[in-house]
Amino acid sequence: MTQVEREEFGKMPREEGGAVVEKFRLKSDSVKVEILSLGCIITALETKDRDGEFSDIVLGFDNLEGYTRKHPFFGAVVGRVANRIAKGRFAVDGKEYQLFVNNGPNSLHGGAKGFDKVLWSPQVLPNGVCFFRLSPDGEEGYPGDLKVWVTYTLSGGDLAINYRAQTSKTTPISLTNHAYFNLAGQGSQDIYDHVISIEADSYLPVDDTKIPTGEVAAVQGTGFDLRQPVELGKHLQKFNLDGFDHNFCLQRAQARRPVARARHPPTGRSMEVHTTQPGIQFYTGNNLDGSLKGKGGAVYPKHSAFCLETQNWPDAVNKPLFPSALLKPGEEYNHTTWLVFNAA
């Protein structure tokens, strides 16, 4: 059985309306997760190690203030479009749209005030919580009134995140959760002893602003071949990589399938990612620099966490050969990602 509790987490700053932010706690025998009504943010996620001891394995903050200041999207749902859109520009039905540019020359994770920075309306479910919001036509430069539902449900060791959306005008959409994981426990200094695998035969090379070049490159014979498990630190050294921040191209199937796995041999914790999405962005916290004070006073240096963000391919709205990122009126965007936690 899953228990669901709710409580007040804090109030938004007065200049942002001062509304109450709620925290929802979902608990099963093996997983405890806490989620905010601000940005649908996962603030804590505790799983057991092989000795049955719980540890919090996601980066974040102890209080609301941390989340209302600038931070690297810890635990948040990002959108309308996760990842980057080149120069913040795209055209739909012959009309050009210009978004806010917030990542070098590009638009990242929804713009200046994306889905991560707004309050959502919660509804408690027997085994989880559903958050709803209406993103109005023109918000952050995007077309159409977009109704969005993000639902978290917990069953045993499985945390499911379902994303649904409907629009009044054709709009690009790609939603993901941007949790930063360290299976040794948040606040651990690095992820080099983690063992990672990703079920992808190809990946997207990027230019120096992290926009895909358009090439879909085979992983075979490169440092991007993660089809067999690799120990991350040794792998980065072997291929002289500074880290990953790349989209891996998954099999095109609408069905649930396992796409990635992370394991921490010292504690026995593992996490499998299953999804219906066509891509997964593997990011190794390259831009973390130890400057943020996290939970329990922890600092988060470079490579102290990883993200496995299931999503559409970056800049797909400008790349006709990539999976379409467009949602049309009368259609429904509907994707689910499952995080499956174990210890052995």
Provide the token pair at 295: 């939970």
Provide the token pair at 198: 């990703």
Dihedral sign (CA 197, 234, 308, 59): positive
Query: For residues 184 and 55, what is the distance between their CA atoms, to the nearest angstrom?
Result: 8
Active site (annotated) includes residue 231: no
The answer to whether 245 is annotated as binding is yes
Q: Please name which of 334, 342, 344 lies closest in space to residue 147, comparing C-alpha atoms.
A: 334
Element (H, E) at 65: helix 64-68
Query: For residues 34 and 41, what is the distance between their CA atoms, to the nearest angstrom?
Result: 8
The answer to whether 84 is annotated as binding is yes
CB atoms within 10 A of CB 151: 18
Query: For residues 57 and 289, what is the distance between their CA atoms, to the nearest angstrom?
Result: 19
Q: Point out which residues pair with 36 in neighbouring strands.
A: 23
> Which DSSP letter does residue 317 get?
G
The answer to whether 163 is annotated as binding is no
Choosing from 22, 272, 309, 335, which is the catalytic residue?
309
Q: Is 73 left (phi over 0), alpha (psi -120 to 50) or beta?
A: left
Choosing from 34, 139, 140, 178, which is the catalytic residue?
178
Rounded to 5°, angle at Cα 283 from 28 and 325: 90
- Cis? peptide before 84, omega within 30° of 0: no
Burial grade of 284 (CB within 10 A; 0-12, 13-18, 19 or more): buried
The answer to whether 82 is annotated as binding is no
Q: Point out which residues pair with 181 in neighbouring strands.
A: 58, 306
Q: CB–CB of 124/141 below 8 Å?
A: no
Active site (annotated) includes residue 335: no
Query: For residues 5 and 23, what is the distance between their CA atoms, to the nearest angstrom?
Result: 8
Binding region for beta-D-galactose: 83-84, 178-180, 245
Active site residues: 178, 309
Binding region: 83-84, 178-180, 245
